Amino acid sequence: MVEVEPILSQSYGYIYILVLGFVFALIMIMITTILAKFAGEKQTSEHFTTASRFVGPEILCIGVVSSWTWPGTLLTSSGMSYSYGICGGAWYAFAFTIQITFFACVALEIKRKAPGAHTILEIVKARFGSNAHFVSMFYGIGTNVIISAMLLLGGCQAISVVTGMHIVAAAMLLPLGVWAYTVTGGLKATFISDWIHTVIIYIVILTALFVTYTSSDKIGSIDKMYDLLTHVSIEHPSAGHEGSYLTWSNKQAIFNGWNIVVGGFSTVFCDPSYAQKAIAAKPKASMIGYFTGGLCWLIIPLGLSNLALASLALVNDPDSPTYPDLIPSVNVNEGIPMLYGMYMILGKSGVAAGLLMVWLAATSATSAELIGFSSVMTYDVYRSYIKPQASGKELVRMTHIFVTFFAIAMGGLTVLFNYIGITISWIISFIGVIIGPGVFAFTLSLFWSKMTTLSWVVGPPLATVIAVISWCGSAKSLYGAVNKDTLGEQYSCAVGNFVGLFGSLILIVAISLLKPDPEPYNFDDLDKKFTVGDDATMQEANAMKVQDKSENDELTKYASYAKIISIAIFIILIFLVPLPMYGSDYIYSRGGFKAWIVIIFIWLFIAASYAIFSPVIRARKALVDLFLVGIGKKKPAQVDLLSSHASRVDSSEEVINIEEMMDTKLD
């Protein structure tokens, strides 16, 4: 194996984790304090976990992009590009985009049928009772735990490889900064930090790509990149058609892509943090926020794939960290090609910028997971089974406790995963085996009135058992042994993921039809089963109610549109684009490659512009009002608490309403 020396010193690792963590925590704490002092914002239990259910499409879009921009987005996609060429990053981007767009349908159903829910697991309890609720907690909390460990693992392994920082130190220190601003500001602080993180990531990607294809002395043009990739395919051929890295005709790539399609649904549909964003959104914002979020996110792994291609193209450059060899497979699985590509294009400053993106991705997505886990533990465990009459202050205190506990626990689990040799690529491949059976269970809970409690209690767990048996059996049959390496192979993971996802669907439908309930469930009763915190404002309480008939009819129309658009995106990204390219054995010509890169640049510029500027434009009036309050020209809003029924302000007074910062009233 090629020994690779760290490019940066250990001090970089500690600066990122400690100094940047402290700076971001301080910024979030300052923002939270300013909003409380000058905007009359009150940190109620509802506000901490749901951002008062007043988030608009622009902010929701940013939240989706940030939550889905894992270290795996940056690292695993680049590893796939390095291994498979131009189609690797594209398959990663396409496969994970469809899960976001399909979840828009679930988000709309939550707003239509259960706007008062605090978590998606709470919806399961309200409809099916405690037994199904306990089963759903296995899938919800299990997803939280696995994804959080994966987020930290990817960030820590990248920091360790590039800086030489000990991974135990990285794993235990990285969650601290995230914990500090999350425990202070709750879900709104997470949304604000999401925007800051996303802006920086887009700027770094745009800068790196412009340098790669315009001014870099090593590449500097699309033509030069094409020539280098053509040459490297001769010396180090891929598994694609004629060994080319410029083709979609790669059996391993398409199989890995479909494996992600099937297994990856669990990382969205079973993750409480994604439902948390749907719950936080205004009703009409859900569809627009998730669709724009998915399309803005898609270009991030697609753009970063070019940096992995740069690393591959320059493998014969003496400055390459592994010259004259390819990057070791273990480092490819850790996603290091992107960072090495940044180094080859921009030097050590490029690696530092790449590492900054990894740190931002790890901390931002981890913050969402902290909120998701603490919300589940607070509302689905503490208030449901320990203290049903808990006050709002007690609920806030418990969320703080659970955020703290989870941050510490995830650091320890990350260390464990690292020492048993687990990588983010391995986790992404296998997660659907364990968690995948929960996908259709959560989805049908909102869509199918004939689903029964028995099907929830029996179907997903039985499907998980069958999936694990199939996973292990296929590893033994195909590779001759059952161990970490064979279980991480594409074919054994594919069998387990497929059985887990669709086995659950078959079992749920079969059990529900064979032993049906006396009457189909009436979804009109669902919204009556959620309790507002006693410290909530009147606005927060009103947001928990089902909309009036006219608005509900409009949401129903939106839901129909969402299903059609989601299916169309699925067909385009998974069938119409990649399969003809695969079947034709097409290798990109010079002109075709130029067109592909130009499309990436245009898409990236549009997505970055929308993500960076649309939230600011939406919040412009509220920001001006906030400034006027700060200089004494306006009075801050007075919070109308549900418990006191106090009026907000006299109607003659001109005040700022901080919720306008997230208001998204659609025309």
| Sequential DSSP letters for 318-384 | TTSTTTTSPPPHHHHHTTTHHHHHHHHHHTHHHHHHHHHHHHHHHHHHHHHHHHHHHHIIIIIIIII
Structure confidence at residue 478 as a pLDDT band (50, 70, 90): very high
Is the pLDDT score of 159 beyond 60?
yes
pLDDT given for residue 609 in this prediction:
96
Please provide the average confidence, as pLDDT, over all residues in the chain: 85
Confidence band for 361, pLDDT divided at 50, 70 and 90:
confident
Q: Which of 74-78, 249-253, 452-456 shows the lowest per-residue confidence on average (mean pLDDT)?
A: 74-78
Instruction: Enter the tokens of residue 284.
Output: 């009409």
Tens-digit pLDDT profile for residues 516-540: 999 999 998 888 777 766 556 666 5
Q: How many beta carbons lie within 10 A of that of residue 255, not counting itself?
A: 15
Predicted pLDDT of residue 654: 38
pLDDT at 657: 42
pLDDT band for position 122 (cuts 50, 70, 90): very high
**CB 290 within 8 Å of CB 55:** no
Residue 25: the pLDDT is 76
The reported pLDDT for the residue numbered 401 is: 92
C-alpha–C-alpha distance, residues 499 and 287, integer Å:
30
Q: Which residues contact 269 (CB under 8 A, 6 or more apart)?
A: 99, 103, 106, 438, 439, 442, 443
Q: Is the pLDDT of residue 314 over 50?
A: yes
Mean pLDDT of 403-414: 90
Return the pLDDT at 652. 34
Mean pLDDT of 592-613: 96
Residue type, 352: A
Predicted confidence at residue 506, as pLDDT, reads 98
| pLDDT at site 298 | 96
pLDDT band at 651 (very low <50, low <70, confident <90, very high): very low
Question: What pLDDT, in 10s, does the model give residues 162-194?
Answer: 899 998 999 888 888 788 777 766 656 667 778
Q: CA-to-CA distance for 177 and 440, rounded, in angstroms? A: 35
φ and ψ of 174, to 5 deg: -55, -40
69, 85, 95, 89: which is closest to 77 by C-alpha?
Answer: 89
Tell me the pTM. Answer: 0.88
Instruction: Choose between 77 and 44: higher pLDDT.
Output: 77
Q: Is the pLDDT of residue 24 over 80?
A: no
Dist. CA 193–CA 190, nearest whole Å? 5
pLDDT of residue 20 exceeding 80, the answer is yes
* Of residues 266, 308, 335, the one with CA closest to residue 493: 266
pLDDT of 638 reads 58
> pLDDT: is 303 or 40 the higher one?
303
661 pLDDT band (50/70/90 cuts)?
very low
Residue 430: pLDDT band (50, 70, 90) is confident
Stretch (H or E) spanning 498: helix 490-514
Strands, E, within 550-649: which ranges? 635-636
* CATH architecture of the domain formed by 10-447+516-662: Up-down Bundle (1.20)
* Residue 71 structure tokens: 């270290």
Identify the H or E element spanning 656.
Answer: strand 655-656
Sorted by where each begins, the domain ranges of the chain are 10-447+516-662
Q: Percentage of the chain with pLDDT > 90?
A: 49
Distance CA 552, CA 558 (A): 10
Amino acid at 147: I
Q: What is the DSSP letter of 648?
A: S
Q: Which residues have a Cβ under 8 Å from the Cβ of 631 and sit 6 or more positions away?
A: none
Handedness of CA 302, 305, 307, 313 (dihedral sign): negative
Mean predicted confidence (pLDDT) in 42-52: 59
605-619 pLDDT, tens digit per residue, is: 999 999 999 988 887
> Residue 42 has what pLDDT?
62
User: What is the phi-psi region of residue 328: left when phi exceeds 0, alpha when psi lies from -120 to 50, beta otherwise?
Assistant: beta
204-220 per-position pLDDT tens digit: 999 999 999 999 999 99
